[in-house]
Structure 1
């Protein structure tokens, strides 16, 4: 701690003429005439702000500070404050909340992108045994694991048909379904047979690839958010005795 305080004191003395900055000032005013000490403070402040808004903090070093400052310089426009730039970046980078309806929709809309690899997209949704057990209790969970091992093999894919251009989606949670959520009417009837096996409250999605304005199309069920990722656990009732 003593070394740190000494370094701060030395910086204060050596940078006595440093401008400093107010994040609410126009970025053009801050960056145009900033000395090296002020630029270092801008970079450090930006790193700290972004880290406070996101879950993934990047290493703070001179190379990354240079990248940050370069990005700020390119994005800086008259009338924009530094806070506007960095705050907008953090919101954009953060994206939809994990497990949210918006995140589920964004994920599924990727299946319409012709540049996406549908095998890779589907493969990322294939469940591991621990995913199944986190949602369903035994004996159903063990039987589902056996069913999926045979049916959901690496290399499989799903996606919209050529005539489909939109997504119809029902988002709820397993606890709500078990409690009689009206959304149950949108799920296959077999779910009424498995709600007793739900062991946790997790987001669950029923979705269809459809033509715009329609609600009938290529239907799927059992997209759930569990263990910090989305997986597909389709037709669980088929594993019942």
Structure 2
């Protein structure tokens, strides 16, 4: 439960509704809610009145409201890397033919903010808007590797180290060793660590001043590619990530970019 007062609790209720991925009835929410019945009902009413939730009186169920759609679109436009990265994702997808991901960190986890499917797509967990683990995905490890040490320590403390496959990193020591290797070579791999049969190469998206903004990856199934093939694309992926970082710096942090230029 959030410790941020009424607003935090309201966000907890939104997360609860969103977690069902379908219309959900009050009784189901109550079964999974930390709030008393009256408190939960009051939050649901307020959020519905504000357009953050929608209530279907015929089915007596709640879904996320249209106001959230507007806010999400504004956040995607103003805060995510997606608008800047779009042409680079399109070019990689067109030239390489495999799945391209764009991700940012959200509460020490991976938030997929954009995706281009392969020419011959395969089913995988990642979708734009989904959240996944950072310690066992290529984009997640690429981002963790370039966090400042204090932020990295906090992020590692929030990893579950659940073993999804026999290849999943299972401890902080294993993860830190992997992050050292990623820093040395400048890119990360997913060696079937999150999903069996799915591998990737990922590069961090850094500003010219080394501020970590996100990561991007080229992902494919082991049935048609391997890590050696993916590694051949490392220069291309790193160049695209560098271009995105430079353009995003000018877009999101123009004052910082000016100061860094003056200092050189």
User: What TM-score do you get using the length of structure 1 for normalisation?
Assistant: 0.32
Higher strand share: 2
Mark the structure with the bigger radius of gyration: 1
User: What TM-score do you get using the length of structure 2 for normalisation?
Assistant: 0.30
